[in-house]
Structure 1
């Protein structure tokens, strides 16, 4: 099993950051809440801060767990931990993604999300 963290990042206007996986990556062309693999001995919060710095050049402040989703991509089992986070600063530059958007919760259903993220999209839409 691979443990992965995803950040549900809000900006000052309450919009959420989503990103589209670029060509050549697993789940290419699908949208996701950004994050990455949790390294051994690393907390979810530390993983998210590191991954967002590496992949998007931004600083975030994770502040509370949002949910956990076990998903199988064929024989690969991932456990995805989602955390709510606040956008702190930085100019977004993309590494593993080819596009990003700040969207309202009600707009999430307009995007094709990676299967492991869909549970969190549905949970966020219930909160609207």
Structure 2
């Protein structure tokens, strides 16, 4: 099983950051909550800070666990661990994604999300 962290990053306007997977990557063209694989001995919070700095050149502050989703992509089993996070700063520069958007939770259904992220989309829309 592969453990992966995902950040539900909010801004002052009540929007959430989503990103579209780059062409050539697994789940290409699908939207997701940004994050990445948790390294050995790394906390979810440390992983998210590192991944968002590497992938988007931004600083975030993960502050609260949101949910966990176990999902299988064929024979690959992932555990996706989502944390709520605050956007701290930095200008978004994409390295692992083709696009990003700040969207209100009520708009999430308009984007085709990677299957492992769908549980979080549903949970966020229930809180609107």
Q: Name the CA distance, whole Å, in 1 between partners of 2:125 and 2:15.
A: 13
Question: Scaled by the length of structure 2, what TM-score is found?
Answer: 1.00
Report the equivalent of 1:8. 8
Report the equivalent of 2:106. 106
Runs of 4+ in 1 over 2 A off after TM superposition: none
Could you give the per-residue CA deviations for residues 73-103 of structure 1, whole angstroms, max 9, x where no partner exists?
A: 0000000000000000000000110000000
Report the equivalent of 1:49. 49
| 1:117 and 2:117 are equivalent in the alignment | yes
Using the TM superposition, give the Cα deviation of residue 12 of structure 1 relative to its aligned residue in structure 2, in angstroms. 1.2
Could you tell me which runs of 5 or more consecutive residues in structure 2 were left unpaired when the two chains were aligned. Answer: none
Q: Name the CA distance, whole Å, in 2 between partners of 1:61 and 1:12.
A: 14
Could you tell me which runs of 5 or more consecutive residues in structure 1 were left unpaired when the two chains were aligned. Answer: none
Q: CA RMSD in A?
A: 0.3
Report the equivalent of 1:18. 18
